[in-house]
Every structure is written in C-alpha cells, then in structure tokens.
Structure 1
Amino acid sequence: MKKDIVIIGGGIVGLNCAYFLQKAGRQVTIIDENDITNSTSFGNAGLLSSYDKTPLSYPGVVTNTLKLMLKGQSPVILHPTTDLKIYNWLTKFILSANEKRCKKTMMLFEKFGEISLQFYEKMIKEDNLDFDYHRDGMLSVFTEDKSYEDKLKKYNISDDDRFEILNHLQIKEYVPTITSKAKGAILFKKNAHFDSRRVMSELKRHLEEIGVEFILNERVEQLDIKNDKIKYIITSSGNLYKAEHTIMSTGYQTLLARQCNKELVMTPAKGYSITFDMPIELKPKTSTLFNDLFIVMTPRRDNVRLTSKLEIGSTDPKVIQKQIDSIKNNFFAYNESFDMKNEVTWTGFRPLTPNDIPLIGKDEKISNLTYAMGLGWLGMTFAPAIGSIISDLVANDKTNAQSDGILMFSGFYQ
C-alpha cells in the first residue's frame, strides 16, 4: 500500500507533525500500535512550562536528589540494572547539569515554548478546538529553604509581567489546601496549562476531519531498508506500507531506530498520574509545581490531576501502588487532607534525553527518514513547535543544515 508520508507513533508529537504536514498539502498516515486513548501524552500533567522552569539536569540536581532520598521524598528512583546504556545516559545527564548548559536550555525552552503556545492558541481560535486551555501562569511552590532562597536570588529583580513572589496568604488563595510548611512560592505568569486528554482527543478528531489517515492497533515491526532508503514499513499484521517519507515518533521505544543503525541517547523514565475529583473551593487556581518534590497539580474542567515520579531502569508497565502511595504521602506532607474522589491512576514511560533537548531531524544516511523523538516530560510543551519544524523540513525537502529549528533545538547537534 503506497503512502505519501507515514508517521510511526500517534503521541502528541506525531499528531502535531501530522497537523502541520497535512496543512502543507501532504497526505499523512499515522500508524500506532494502540488506539491512541491511553498513551503517555494522555497521562501528561498538562503544564506548559516553557518559561522559568529549569531542565531536569540542573546544577545541584544530584545533591538535591540525595537529600530528598534521605528524607524519603525523592521523586527519582534508579532501579539496579545491567544495561550499560542507562549508565551512559546517567553520565551524560550528570555532565549536562552545569550552569552554562542549564542557561542555554532555558533560553531554548523559552523560544520554542512560546512558539508552541502561540500555535495552540491559533488552533483553538482557527480550528475551534477545545483544549481547556488557560494561560494564567505556573505557581512554583518550594518546600525546601535552600531551593527557595536560591530561586529568590535569581529573581531579585522587578518584572511584574513575568513573575510575582507571593506571601503566605496569597499562596493560600492559589492553593487552598497548602499548609504553613511550604517555604514560599513564585507565580511565573507566562506559562499555561490545559487538559492533555482533551487535547489528544480533539486533535485526533480534527486530523480525521481534514483527511489524516489513522491505522491503529497495528505495530510496526520492521523497516525494510535498501539503497539507503526505507522501501517498506512492515507491521505485525503482515501489511507492507511504502512511503515517500517516514517520520519516526515512537516515544521511548528505540527498536526501529536501532534497525536504522541509529543509537539514540535516550532512556525510558516511568512516571505516574492520579486524576480525581475534589470540591471546587479546594481546587488550585492554576497549575502548581511543588518544585522540590517534582509533583505537578493541575486543575481541569472536570477534575484535578497529580503527576510525579521518575523511575529509571524500570520496564514494568503496571501501576505500582507503592509509588502512588509515595506521591500521596509527599503531597499531603505539605497539603491539608481531603478525599480524592473517583480516583484514576495511570503510569507510562517518558522518552528522556540527558539534557532535555529533543532528537529531531533527518537521518544522515537514510534519505527518506526523519526523527521526531526524545521530548520526555515536555512533549505537550513543545509538540507544535516540533511539528512545525518537521513539516518545514520534510514538505520543503530541506537538509538539516537548512533548518534553523533543527540546528538550534535538536539533540543531534547539541
């Protein structure tokens, strides 16, 4: 079956690549091993944190993580493993945790995050998509004195358009459940949040309406490569698809990349979410990051979602109750008790690169293959910017060197 452009993977990045390519006049087919109703993108916090949010590999991350481990509050879990690739990733992660790298990453976050926010707002307005989108900032709550003091030193300036340091009464107005144990909070005004499940559902519906083809519950098992081109895409059902161009957007899964002799420096990191109902008077006013605990609490139209945990070295796809209990214990150590009604738990794997920079761009040898991977916990934050970059690259037949977006924001060139 001959296709124009095939995107392997229907997460938020794959859907955005399809969105922009279809608008550029290409015929797009998305192949996904599931039915796109419970992917990692669906379990996302929905926090669009492109402004004033440090990357995972920030200076002092190792020391801070060890301190939280001693207190029993660390969100990071490293499982013993014999996989040397994980230790290679950890080494690169630690080397990336320096001031120079962090400053550069935050500048890139801001540039491409703003591009994404504007695209989301355009989709809402022009395509009439309901994302439950709110650009009302991100509240960063600090539970450790040192981290709060360090942040205050960095924001010892006057910029009312960008941030506001809140007193305890103001914090309580934003997070009614917060206790006096919280050390302080800063409202970063340029960030936004939405309902990730609604975004995925709305985007899929819209893409179907504009002609994008979905082939679901069909896993791509093999890429038949001849003369430096993908000749056929072979699926678990035995179907063969011939595409003019293939975009690999397979999340944390790297089997197909390895078939292309491409070793991606990326590791799956298992994360969790708890979605629940709570009294409206207790809901936070905006998406709230408990900075030292790596817990995000996001209000949605119908419920609230908590996300947390970063398990490295796990391959278990099941929800582990021990981890859910740990998230709750850490959260309620700084929040008043309330019932999480109609609770739904979820877990999934995020594709993490060592420096939070995505792996995007054309393969250097296989002429009709492009990668759109490695967005980690920031897939929702950057997906439209990535989709636009990939569309421009493929639809206009550019090389990586001709794309400013690839040169600036691809981990292949960092």
Structure 2
Amino acid sequence: MGQSVVIIGGGIAALTSAYTLANKGHRVTIINQTDTNSAPSFGNAGLLSAFEKAPLAAPGVITKTLKLMLQGKSPIVLRPNLDPHFYRWLVRFMASTTRARLKKTLILFERYGEQSIQAYHRLTQEEGLDFDFHHDGVMLVFTEAESYREKLRHATDSSKYEVLDYASAKERLGFVAPNIEGVIHLKRNGRLDPGRLMEQLKALLVRKGVCFVSGEEIVDFDVGPKQIKSARSKTRTYEADTFILASGHHTALAAKLGTPLMLIPAKGYNITFEMEESIKPKQCVMFNDLFIIATPRQHDMRLTSKLEIGTSNPDINMKRVQSILANLKTHTVKFELQNPRYWAGFRPLTPNDMPLIGRDSTYRNMVYGMGYGWLGMTFGPALGEIIGRLIDEDLENHQSDDVLLFSGFYQGCL
C-alpha cells in the first residue's frame, strides 16, 4: 500500500508530482486555495526553452537591464520597496550572474530540459493527451546587429542551430517584418499550450484516483518532533504520511516551519488573441532584443513579456501591456488583435534560476516543489519525477543526485 500524500498548490509542480506518485501507487490529494485553472502555470508562454537560451541570471544582465529600462524596452522592471528580503534576493541574484555559474546552469538546463521533453512525448503517446505539443524548435529573431553577431559566433553546430535570413524564414515567421537583422532556429526547443496541458493532466489525474480540493487555504501545520502531523485550513485538518509544498511564490507556510525560502514573486504578463491565419507564425518566435515571445497555438496566439520584480499588486497594468505591443509592432507587419485577453500573474523566482526541491531540513516528511520561475513548463515533468522518486524510494536529499545537482537548497539559494 502506497503512502498518503497531500500536495499544497495547484500549478505544474503539483500536477507533475501527483502524476509520478499516482503512477507509483500512492494516494494523492491536491489542495489549492483557488481553482487549478487559476494557477499561474496557465499564464505560461508555453515555450520549452532549455537549450541554447541563457537563463535570467546571466552575465551582464544588470547593466543591460538598467540601460533598457531607460529606453522602455527592459524585460525586467525593478520596483524598489521597503522589504529587506527583496534586497537580499537582489544581492544573491547579482552574485549569480557569473560566467562560471552560467556554464553550470546551461548544462543543468539541458539535462533536465531533455527529460521533460521526453516526458511530454510520453504523455502524448502513452496517455493520449493532446496539449498542442510540438518539438519543432524556436525561431530566435534579432533586431539588433550586435546581438546577432554575438550569437552567430556560437551558432556553429548544425545539429543545434540553423542560421536563416528573412527570405528563407518568412513562411515560418508569419507577422514578423523584414526589418530584422537575422534569424537563428534553435532546433531542440519546443512548445505547448499550458492551459490545455493543465486541464488534460488534471482530468488524467482524476482518472488515476487523485483527489482535488479547491477553494481551501492551508494556514498552518500541526507538527511533532521532526515530523508534520497534519495540515490545517480554517475549517478542516488533513493528515498524511508526506506533504509537498508547491505553493508558487507563497512562502508563508515554509516560514512557519522555520525554513525561509529565497524566492520572490515576479509579475509576468501575457496577451492572448486570435489573428489572421495567413500571418500567424508556424513556429514559436522569440524576439531576442525585444524580450517578447510569440507562441502560435491551435486556435490563437499568445504574447509573453515583461517581469516586474518588487511588486505584489496583482492588477493588470495596461501601461505594461501597451509597452509590449508598442515594442513588438516596430518589427511586425500591421495586424489586428482579435478578441484580446490580458493576464498578469506571479512567477516564483530564485536568485540563480535553480528550483527549490527536496526535503525540509527539520521536518523530513515535508518536501518542497517551489521556485520554478518562468521555466515551469520547461522543467515541470522532470522535477515532478525527482520529487516522486524522493518520496517513493524514501530517499534523503543527499541520496538523490538530482536534488544535489539541481536544487537551489544546494546551489546557494538559502
């Protein structure tokens, strides 16, 4: 008989961990404060970008961000505030933007990105899910000559890169205008529809016996010596053998256990709309110098851009939305946003792009699945498998090579 496992949270971390555990015979309950359809994972761009793409904490990002902020083109908007935790995070972020750190991060991204890609293939082939998954790469579009020349210096492996000019890439680029410097096809990346993935994965989990409790906020834990006895909401108590905290950017429950998590909320935006099929891109387009991702989906398009760091205001700032569109339209043909829907939500960012996965240092039956940041879809299945194995095989953190390699608990995030 498997363990009883309570997962707190309803995003991709919760669902992929539940999938691994349910397949191994464990009894899983997912408790989420809102409906699963409201999870920030639904607002993801859907780009699976583990290959040939720099992480957020990359060399030169601070100087470049400040310069672009003055031009209104920065991918990151820093909002100063009075929270000392924000500045501790910022100091560690700056310390992470080294070439040595970048080299290690890129290797880890490839390792776990490939695992997730293969897991998505299995979900479509073995489970019969259809979430508009395409393993067809991403078209990296350059609007500045300097950045294009720099990328060309590294784009020499034809198994990973395809260097294109506008004429040869036009059919795949759709609404992209000819006033660009060049295009590099990053062959190994992919894309999917996050909303469809979450909906179908939830339905699959229900068929596998996973219980979902929506609209329930866990406010505290009942603890004993080195063990959590139960999780409490305002009205109910949930007992389990093991608990997984996968609550996005919400860290209050971890703090109550004496574990301060080094992550902050980063507010991201997207715009989803229909457009003419004749100018709809055939592949995902990433505007390298505009920091805008345009992802074609089965029935619509999604634009994703901007991260606001230092704010907890959940409201959609239409000035940010208009800034995204204004920057985009400098390098696209004229197009109409048909039936536009705007979204803003919070990504849980660690200072060095490493997720926080593994057992709590005091309460062994608490496992964390936090800090996936803007790469939740890219690494979700791989991290769900790591968490599932940790519980199923009753491993300590030091017995899991994957936790030691990829968890921020062992990579300077505490």
Offset of 1:150 from its aligned partner? 1.4
1:354-390: CA deviations, max 9, x gaps?
A: 1111000001110110001100000001011001001
Q: Secondary structure at the match of 1:66?
A: helix
Among 197, 201, 218, the alignment partner of 2:216 is 218
1:277 corresponds in structure 2 to: 274
Offset of 1:267 from its aligned partner? 0.7
Looking at structure 1, the residues matched to 148 and 68 of structure 2 have their Cα atoms a distance apart, in angstroms, of 15
Paired residue type of 1:5: V
2:4 corresponds in structure 1 to: 4
1:71 corresponds in structure 2 to: 71
Instruction: State yes or no: 1:241 paired with 2:251.
Output: no
Looking at structure 1, the residues matched to 43 and 88 of structure 2 have their Cα atoms a distance apart, in angstroms, of 28
Looking at structure 2, the residues matched to 378 and 388 of structure 1 have their Cα atoms a distance apart, in angstroms, of 16
Offset of 1:164 from its aligned partner? 0.5
Looking at structure 2, the residues matched to 367 and 55 of structure 1 have their Cα atoms a distance apart, in angstroms, of 31
Offset of 1:149 from its aligned partner? 1.6
TM-score, normalised by the number of residues in structure 1: 0.97
Instruction: State yes or no: 1:206 paired with 2:199.
Output: no
Paired residue type of 2:39: S
2:46 corresponds in structure 1 to: 46
Looking at structure 2, the residues matched to 129 and 177 of structure 1 have their Cα atoms a distance apart, in angstroms, of 30
1:294-331: CA deviations, max 9, x gaps?
A: 21100000100001111011111111111111110111
Looking at structure 2, the residues matched to 300 and 342 of structure 1 have their Cα atoms a distance apart, in angstroms, of 15
Q: Secondary structure at the match of 2:38?
A: coil
1:331 corresponds in structure 2 to: 328
Offset of 1:170 from its aligned partner? 2.3
The runs of 5 or more residues in structure 1 that have no matched partner are: none
Number of corresponding residues: 409
Among 228, 231, 240, the alignment partner of 2:229 is 231
Instruction: State yes or no: 1:120 paired with 2:117.
Output: no
Q: Secondary structure at the match of 2:43?
A: coil
**Which of 332-341 and 300-309 deviates more?**
332-341
Paired residue type of 2:379: F
Offset of 1:103 from its aligned partner? 1.1
1:327-349: CA deviations, max 9, x gaps?
A: 10111121122101010000100
1:89-137: CA deviations, max 9, x gaps?
A: 1111111111111111011000000000101100111111111100110
1:216-265: CA deviations, max 9, x gaps?
A: 111111112221211120013x1001110000000010000101111111
2:140–2:285: 8 Å Cα contact kept in structure 1? yes
Looking at structure 1, the residues matched to 89 and 143 of structure 2 have their Cα atoms a distance apart, in angstroms, of 29
CA RMSD of aligned residues (A): 1.1
1:167 corresponds in structure 2 to: 165
Offset of 1:292 from its aligned partner? 2.0
Offset of 1:19 from its aligned partner? 0.0
2:380 corresponds in structure 1 to: 383
Looking at structure 1, the residues matched to 181 and 218 of structure 2 have their Cα atoms a distance apart, in angstroms, of 49
**Which of 160-169 and 305-314 deviates more?**
160-169
Paired residue type of 1:390: I
Looking at structure 2, the residues matched to 48 and 58 of structure 1 have their Cα atoms a distance apart, in angstroms, of 18
Correspondence 1:9-408 to 2 at 5 A: 9-155=9-155, 157=156, 159-236=157-234, 238-408=235-405
**Which of 53-62 and 65-74 deviates more?**
65-74
Looking at structure 2, the residues matched to 228 and 176 of structure 1 have their Cα atoms a distance apart, in angstroms, of 57
Paired residue type of 1:322: K
Looking at structure 2, the residues matched to 81 and 178 of structure 1 have their Cα atoms a distance apart, in angstroms, of 38
Percent identical pairs in the alignment equals 46
Looking at structure 1, the residues matched to 71 and 175 of structure 2 have their Cα atoms a distance apart, in angstroms, of 22
Q: Secondary structure at the match of 1:296?
A: strand
Looking at structure 1, the residues matched to 267 and 230 of structure 2 have their Cα atoms a distance apart, in angstroms, of 32
Q: Secondary structure at the match of 1:333?
A: helix
Paired residue type of 2:178: S
Looking at structure 2, the residues matched to 353 and 289 of structure 1 have their Cα atoms a distance apart, in angstroms, of 23
1:24-66: CA deviations, max 9, x gaps?
A: 1100000000111121100000000111110001111112212
Q: Secondary structure at the match of 1:310?
A: strand
Paired residue type of 2:264: T
2:69–2:77: 8 Å Cα contact kept in structure 1? no
Looking at structure 1, the residues matched to 149 and 70 of structure 2 have their Cα atoms a distance apart, in angstroms, of 21
Looking at structure 1, the residues matched to 223 and 51 of structure 2 have their Cα atoms a distance apart, in angstroms, of 41
2:139–2:173: 8 Å Cα contact kept in structure 1? no
Paired residue type of 1:144: E
2:65–2:74: 8 Å Cα contact kept in structure 1? yes
Paired residue type of 1:50: A
Looking at structure 2, the residues matched to 336 and 67 of structure 1 have their Cα atoms a distance apart, in angstroms, of 27
TM-score, normalised by the number of residues in structure 2: 0.97
2:5–2:29: 8 Å Cα contact kept in structure 1? yes
Q: Secondary structure at the match of 1:42?
A: helix
1:139-174: CA deviations, max 9, x gaps?
A: 11122222222111122x2x2221101112123222
Paired residue type of 1:160: S
